[in-house]
Amino acid sequence: MKRAQSQVSKLPPTTAQTTSGEIAFLLRELVAHLRQNRTQLREEWARRITEARLLTAMTKEEVFAEATSVYDNYVEALETGTFEALQSYSRNLSERIIPRGVQTDEVVGIVLLLRDVLARSLFARYHADFDKLNRILDAYEPAANRIAITVAVGFVQERERTIREQQEAIRELSTPVLQVRERLLILPIIGVIDPQRARQLTEQLLHGIRTNRARVVVIDITGVAAMDSNVANHLVLTVEASRLLGATVIVTGLSPEIAQTLVNIGVDLTKMNTVGDLQGGIEEAERLLGYKVVPAAKTEQQT
Amino acid sequence: MPAKRRKRGDGKGVAEREFAPSGEELRIPILSAEDILSARLKGRALAHRLGLTGSNQTIVATAISELARNILQYARRGEVLVGIVESNGRTGISVVARDDGPGIPNVDRALQIGFSTSGSLGMGLPGVRRLMDSFRIESRTGKGTTVMVRKWK
Amino acid sequence: MEVPILKQGPYLIASVQSALTDADLLQLRDALIDKVGRFRSLGVIVDVTALDVMDSFASRMLRDITHMIRLRGADTVIVGIQPEVAFAMVQLGLTLEGVATALDLEEGLAFLDKKLGKNAGRPGLLTG
ipTM of the complex: 0.90
Q: Check whether A8 has a pLDDT greater than 70.
A: no
Higher pLDDT, C104 or A33: C104
Picking from A78, A96, A87, A74, the residue whose alpha carbon sits closest to that of residue A29 is A78
Give the structural domain span for B93: 5-152
Chain-chain contact of C93 with B115 (C-beta, under 8 angstroms): yes
CATH class as words, domain A20-168: mainly alpha
Chain-chain contact of B86 with A6 (C-beta, under 8 angstroms): yes
Q: What are phi and psi of A37, to 5 degrees?
A: -100, 25
Q: What are phi and psi of B32, to 5 degrees?
A: -150, 170
Mean pLDDT of C32-50: 96
| Chains linked to C by 3 or more Cβ pairs within 8 Å | A, B
Picking from C118, C8, C11, the residue whose alpha carbon sits closest to that of residue C75 is C11
CATH number of the domain within which B110 lies? 3.30.565.10
The reported pLDDT for the residue numbered A11 is 53
Residue of A nearest to C107 (CA): A246
**Is residue C88 situated within a structural domain?**
yes
Into how many domains does chain B fold? 1
Tens-place pLDDT, residues A243-292: 999 999 999 999 999 999 999 988 888 888 999 999 999 999 999 998 76
The reported pLDDT for the residue numbered A213 is 95
Tens-place pLDDT, residues A210-227: 999 999 999 999 988 888
State whether residue B85 is helix, strand or coil: strand
CATH number of the domain within which C87 lies? 3.30.750.24
The reported pLDDT for the residue numbered A3 is 44
**Is residue C33 situated within a structural domain?**
yes
User: Does B112 touch chain A if contact means CB atoms closer than 8 Å?
Assistant: no
Q: Check whether A293 has a pLDDT greater than 50.
A: no
Mean pLDDT of A141-168: 86
Residue of A nearest to C88 (CA): A241
Q: Where are the domains of chain A?
A: 20-168, 178-298
Q: Given A203, A246, A301, which is nearest C103 (Cβ)?
A: A246
Q: Are strands C5-8 and A248-252 parallel, antiparallel or unpaired?
A: unpaired
B10, B12, B52, B55, best to mutate vs chain A, most A CBs in 10 Å: B55
Beta bridge partners of A251: A219, A274
Q: How many CB pairs under 8 A join B and C?
A: 77
Average pLDDT, chain A: 84
**C127 DSSP 8-state letter:** T
Residue A114 neighbours by CB under 8 Å, 6+ apart: A45, A70, A71, A74
Does pTM surpass 0.90? no
The reported pLDDT for the residue numbered B82 is 97
Give the structural domain span for C53: 5-115
**Is residue C98 situated within a structural domain?**
yes
Q: Check whether A71 has a pLDDT greater than 50.
A: yes
**B12 DSSP 8-state letter:** T
Residue of B nearest to C60 (CA): B120
The reported pLDDT for the residue numbered A63 is 86
3-state secondary structure A237-273: HHHHHHHHCCCEEEEECCCHHHHHHHHHCCCCCCCCC
The reported pLDDT for the residue numbered B19 is 53
Chain-chain contact of A213 with C128 (C-beta, under 8 angstroms): no
Q: Which superfamily, per CATH, for A178-298? A: STAS domain (3.30.750.24)
- Tell me if B126 sits within 8 A of C95, measured CB to CB: no
Q: Check whether C43 has a pLDDT greater than 90.
A: yes
Confidence of residue B112 (pLDDT cuts 50, 70, 90): confident
Into how many domains does chain C fold? 1
Q: What are phi and psi of A214, to 5 degrees?
A: -75, 140
